[in-house]
Amino acid sequence: MRETSSYRRKNALTGEWVLSSPQRGNRPWSGEATDTNVEKMSTYDPHCPLCPGTHRSNNIRNDDYLGPYVFNNDFSALTAPDSDEKLATSALESVNSTPSFISEEAAEGECRVICFDHRHDRTLADFGVSELKNLLGIIQGTYCELSARYRCVTLFENKGALMGCSQPHPHGQIWAHDHLSSKVAQEDQQQSLYLQKNRSALLADYQKWESENDKRVVFENSDWLIVVPYWAAWPFETLLITKGTQADFGELAPENLTTLAQALAVLNRTYDALFNCSFPYSMGWHNAPSGQENSHWRLHAHFFPPLLRSATIKKHMVGYEMLGEPQRDLTVESAAKKLRKLADPIKKQLANPL
């Protein structure tokens, strides 16, 4: 492992490169330090549009729900297929010769919100394994419903104001559409090319290599592996991969949901323990596109947390990262070692509750 010289690693899922500069890890810091003096939240906020029984901005009243709750996003990023609001006629359409470098298409689909719990003050790090399994079952049901109608379904969560989360009530989102999002299209292509060349699935081979190597493993059980990926761009980025052949969320059996709940419980508590804070991140599940042969795919989730050195110092993807390629200041292996050290006792605690 190199500690004093820079190097690049290729992201096998996207084909993009990441610059690693571990020699910069100890440089002086006088930049932004986020305030962590967050006021303790109450269990219920009558002004929160996601709490049970409150009214959302469109004056729709939430059910008096307990546990998870799913509803259509009032501010959908996608136009509903049956909507009267169709793609407006572009000014370019009135021009006889549109340049070949100009492209535009309708973006239709559905967006849903899933409140993880009726309590306003809980995050997934507060959930027990059985609670997480129940939540995953509801997410799976919603995924199956949407994937029957749309080609691409993305499940994601933005946790914390630092990640632009507009509501503190713990929740995630599910977006479904027929076009392939750019990231899914990249991963679909890279995994397909790998299968054609090697006659095996990329993430299946990668999972086995990481399990055997064990340098970047944060957590592993019978069905799931969590690693700081070899090509990680964010300081404490992780990749959660199935060890089975499942290509999408709908293929998970009940026992897979149980072991997945364990993995998520360990990871969320580990993140919170790292800097002793409610750890912010953006995460999401990448499912294989519906309606095609998917032997090249494996179901996986990405976690992208921004914190770099402490609860108050975050990594900014600016300058060279925006104009060149992502760059990181600590090695992937050292990040994994820190997370693994915290994850091991949490795993034992969950396996042997008091």
Active site residue ranges: 171
Half-sphere exposure at residue 337, Cβ-oriented, CA atoms within 13 angstroms = 7
Bridge partners (DSSP) of residue 285 are 155, 301
* Three-class DSSP category at 220: strand
Instruction: Report whether 88 contacts 106 (CB < 8 A).
Output: no
Cα 143 to Cα 85: distance, rounded to the nearest angstrom = 25
- Pairing mode, if any, of strands 109-115 and 69-72? antiparallel
Region for 159 from its dihedrals, namely left if φ exceeds 0, alpha if ψ lies in -120 to 50, beta otherwise: beta
Cα 300 to Cα 307: distance, rounded to the nearest angstrom = 22
On the 0-12 / 13-18 / 19+ scale of CB atoms within 10 A, 66 is: exposed
Tokens standing for 126? 């507060």
Cα 208 to Cα 349: distance, rounded to the nearest angstrom = 26
Kind plus residue range of the DSSP H or E element containing 332: helix 332-351
DSSP state of 108: B
